[in-house]
Structure 1
């Protein structure tokens, strides 16, 4: 099928290019509206206990969104400041949609900082407002607050911080994409040796992104589309499209160099029958990894999985159709080789060839040293603190973040948001249970609020430490263990539910991803051992990357270098997203290498240990330069997003850059050839039963 597709790409090249051009044009015109139609998506399953309980509390005792403001930079008792602030507070109370205003000037809240140069204003909006209506009222409130005659008025709160997250995510995506495309364009032109050749991968990337955004725009009318899905589309779209394009172009150059008399249709047929198969298997592997996110039934992860699955499908389709068609049109302008790939033919071998040769000379020592090194890098993961991102993960200059930090420092006075507990029983029957709650370690205060209904009682328990810290999380677990009728909500309960949901569904997701990718690698290599080895290597890459991220983003190592202020945790979704991205992209390079190694192995007449080593080295020598180039290209993409200001996006960008660096050099260059050399002909073992005996692959053929 792929062979015929290669010939079809020559015959219908202009039709294929025109079709993609029309789709890309529509995506460029209409796809951009997805940025306006994208919305915030909950990061917790709708059936989680804390979510259900919070909805119940909102129905029984609805509370509106809060807008927080800090008036700072001037003595609180200044007469003109007091007059200005008082006038504005009464004007805010008159705004339709405002339920209550609590301030130190007109309501006597006494929320004043110790140095008397800051005061806190809390504006509660009406609970019946929808989110868009609440944001509109919040904007009116913010505009009024900014008219106060004070050196600085900062306005924030959860509602505005949530919107800032979305806006910053889209801004980071736009900046990251622009930087990545410009730098990538220059790099590809230099590496591929010409403007036309360098433009082919970029054309595929742009077509992939534009078409995916067009589909997401259509979906936004029928279902919520997350702002973060746009980031996923941009990162994966550029990275995968460039990877697949480079693989196809490099193989076409090799086929043309090997047989200069062959006709163009035959050259592209051979190209797609080999590298096209690798692209197809890689696309299926990456798509399967992303599909595994749906298992978690998390709205945010599902939104990212949807965007990612779409872009993988389209990147694969572009690699198998658009890129061959572009090659068919511009093949005379594509150099016979390029500066990176030509190095494989010179006396000085390419980087991966040198690393593989070194590893094969001393496989046991290299395998042990690399494995130990990756485990050392993963050690910080043992102290990882996962938490839901709040305003602290916004840029330091963000108004919402500054309000959050000032409120925590100046106005919390040791107060911590309590754990809200609901017990379906009357208050007069709960004294023994309440005493048990007071005796729990980490419970600093237990306050019986009210009877929610005739048969339900609300209790607020203040935890030690922070509202969602480790002590608060443990307290939630102990509270829930007291009695099946006890339900808990609040920041700590939400985090506990998120972690428990992930832990419960992680084995299923792992089984889906590992089984599917294992079967794909078996179909590619006809080996049982190689897929198992590949899965173990991918897990090592993931663990090492996450360990480094803990050191950077939680401990703050190198935070100033990367331009952010650490907030003491990783976002709870980061490990899952990186697992999928790293697993998928590691499989990408694994497929590129193994497909060529399998070709070389099949050419050998012997199945000896030496033949295995020669096949591995020949495969790495043939594909190493293009993998190095692809890694450089995708590294540029990820670094572009690492320059973003949203810490959650920065975590993904830096994490993927680290993963690609480790995977292409240490894992593919050293560990893979070392392990394959140690295993020898066992690499190619598969159960081919004959008379009750399992035999090696070559013997079974």
Structure 2
């Protein structure tokens, strides 16, 4: 069937290319609108206790978005400062849409211990939409700039979320631009010419533009996260280039084997062989991304949506657009060893990097397998110290005022921390909760526990953790209150509760996610290889890559990782590791079927497909390193982590462990039964 696709793509090359060009152009014009339609997506499901607590508090006492200002650099009582600050805050208090102003000049707000800085919080009408609130927030920012102080830093969650979204888009554009320039040079060098080198980039650009077009269409009915755009760019660029390289390399091999064969026949054989690897690889990556949706959180579901679109379109492009492009430009795709302006001398016919590593590991299979495994496990050890946290303003670049405000509040105004909120479904004087109320007072100092405004039938207690809003102390308070066992319904919310809920949600759903990923992936590899042991070994090798990558990332980024980073890395690493596994195994299986000699098949398969895997790894490594240059900490962590994973996977895992373990297992790799030339059917 896939072979017929190759023949059809050759015969109908111009219409196929025309359709993709139209989609790319429309996507470039219309799809770009998705950047203005992205939304901030919730990190937790609505059923999480912290979310229910927040909803209950909002139901009792709706609170609007806030703008927070830190005024500093001069003594609090400086006459000019007092005069201008008082005028500004009194004016803001009279502004339509502002429901509350809390400042140290007109309303007894917080002042730092040294008297050189103070905090102001301006609350916007909760009935305002996010767009309208941002418009008013910009007006508030402009008014606050009139305060005569050396430094007026302005932030708050509303402005931080907008800056976060804008920076995510900027990082995506910057990373893609850097990656495209470097990729262009690498692909021209690898493929031997400008036209040949541009083919994978054309496929990648068409994939990304079409995926963005699809996202823009979906944005009308579902929430599209800014991170979905990042995922589309990362995977669309990386996978489209990978699949293009695989198809082009196989075409060159088929043409070299039968140079006089008709073009349709060459591309039929090319797509029949390479297309199967592209299809299986695409399915494997899609399965890994689908595992994100199992966790049930809106933000991960949004990322999974973007990733699935990118994988689907990269796979379709690899099976249709790339063969059609080859049919048009096949005369400009030089064979390896051809003298071109890029290759000034015929390329040596020696082994590539992976083939060299594979030959070495086969000769020393036992020590290579042991040393490689021990090294990866040792690199995994730092994972035991892994700490995670929810994204907040600290993930923004240091130059942003929103981050500076958050850091200044934590350092100089501990009372400004977001409290642990306890919602008790009973009156304050209800005898049923008196023991609970006394217990709550033990969770903080005399001034740390406060009763919120009374509401009929409900008591709301706020506990200041005296430290970071989601720090260890705050988390301890949340766990203590939840474990108390009150006789009435109690909900605990706040940033610390949200982090605990996120961790618990991940732990509880991880087994199901692993099942959803491992079982279909193992079945796919079984269908490809007709082996039971090879899928099991592939899963183990992927886990070694993941563990070593996370361990290295803990060393590179001391402190807490964003809670979504390990999950994203798991799905990306698993998917891309399967990508390279399939590229190699598909060719090894061909050689095994042809020769029946396990060691020869492993070496010949890696020798034939190794250059493509190496080029693909270099290409996608460039893509991820481009995004590692971004300024958002979360994006940087994913970019660095994936670059580390690609390096480890292609060298240590695929170059050393894969051939070493396959040589150790011998014909048992192909159990439960493959006809061989020497022994007949294995049992």
User: 1:76: Cα distance to partner?
Assistant: 2.9
Q: Does 1:165 align with 2:164?
A: yes
Q: 1:325-357: per-residue Cα shift (whole Å, max 9, x none)?
A: 000000000001269999998464211111111
Structure 1 unpaired stretches of 5+: 556-567, 606-610, 691-695
What CA distance in whole angstroms lies between the structure 2 residues aligned with 1:342 and 1:536? 43
Once the two structures are TM-superposed, the CA of residue 633 in structure 1 deviates from its matched residue by: 0.6
Distance 1:452 1:93 in 2: 25
Q: Does 1:586 align with 2:577?
A: yes
Cα distance in 2 for partners of 1:486, 1:457 equals: 10
What is residue 457 of structure 1 aligned with on the other side? 459
Matched residues in 2 for 1:112 and 1:540: separation?
52
Give ranges in structure 2 of 5+ residues lacking alignment. none
Question: 2:524: which partner in 1?
Answer: 520
Q: For 1:48-447, list aligned pairs within 5 A.
A: 48-109=48-109, 111-337=110-336, 346=348, 348-412=350-414, 416-427=417-428, 428-429=430-431, 430-438=433-441, 447=449
Deviations 1:102-136 (A, max 9, x none): 22222232x33344332222112222222222211
TM-score, normalisation: structure 1: 0.92
Q: CA deviation at 1:6?
A: 0.8
Match of residue 636 from structure 1: 622
Superposed, 1:527-542 pairs within 5 Å as: 527-542=531-546
Contact 2:441 2:449 in 1 (8 A): no
Contact 2:617-2:647 within 8 A present in 1 as well: yes
Structure 1 partner of 2:588: 597
| 2:681 pairs with 1:699 | yes
The change in CA–CA distance for 1:470 and 1:443 in structure 2 (over 3 A counts) is farther
CA distance in 2, matches of 1:577, 1:343: 43
Which residue pairs with 1:608 in the alignment? none
Change (3 A) 1:127 1:268: same
Moved more, 60-69 or 340-349: 340-349
Deviations 1:416-441 (A, max 9, x none): 4321112223333212223444556x
Quote how far apart the aligned CAs of 1:61 are.
Answer: 1.3
Q: What is the CA distance between 1:445 and its match in structure 2?
A: 7.2
Distance 1:321 1:382, change over 3 A: same
Match of 1:682 in 2: 668
Q: Give me the whole-angstrom Cα distance separating, in 1, the residues matched to 2:404 and 2:679.
A: 64
Report deviation, 1:586.
0.5
User: Given the superposition, is the C-alpha separation of residues 104 and 456 from structure 1 closer, same or farther in structure 2, using an over 3 Å criterion?
Assistant: closer
How far residue 14 of structure 1 moved from its aligned partner, in angstroms, is: 0.3
- SS at structure 1 position matched to 2:681: helix
CA deviation profile, 1:534-564 (whole Å, cap 9, x unmatched): 00111111111111111122x2xxxxxxxxx
Match of 1:558 in 2: none
TM-score by length of 2: 0.95
The structural deviation recorded for 1:156 is: 0.1
Q: Deviations over 1:233-271 (max 9, x none)?
A: 000000000000000000000111111111111111111
Distance 2:196 2:538 in 1: 32
Cα 1:211/1:544, change in 2 over 3 Å: same
Comparing 450-459 and 353-362, the one that deviates more: 450-459
1:343–1:349 contact (8 Å) kept in structure 2: no
CA deviation after TM superposition for structure 1 residue 468, in Å: 1.3
Q: What are the Cα deviations for residues 580-630 of structure 1, in whole angstroms up to 9, with x where unaligned?
A: 11000000000000000000110114xxxxx21111111111111111111
**Cross-structure match for 2:475:** 473
CA shift, 1:54, in A, is 0.8
Where do residues 650-689 of structure 1 align in structure 2 (5 Å cutoff)? 650-686=636-672
Query: Cα–Cα, structure 1 residues 390 and 444, in superposed 2: closer, same or farther, change >3 Å?
Result: farther
Other structure's SS at 1:297 match: coil
Could you tell me how far 1:487 is from its partner in structure 2? 1.6
Are the structure 2 counterparts of residues 445 and 433 from structure 1 closer, same or farther at C-alpha, using a change threshold of 3 Å?
farther
Partners of 1:525 and 1:503 in 2: how far apart? 33
- For these two proteins, the number of residue pairs brought into alignment is 674
Query: Match for residue 600 of structure 2?
Result: 614
**CA shift for structure 1 position 179:** 0.8
Q: Secondary structure at the match of 2:391?
A: coil
Compute the RMSD of aligned alpha carbons. Answer: 2.3
Residues 627 and 178 (structure 1), Cα distance of their counterparts in 2 relative to 1, 3 Å cut? same
Partners of 2:414 and 2:466 within 8 A in 1: no
Check the 8 A contact 1:69/1:121 in 2, yes or no: yes
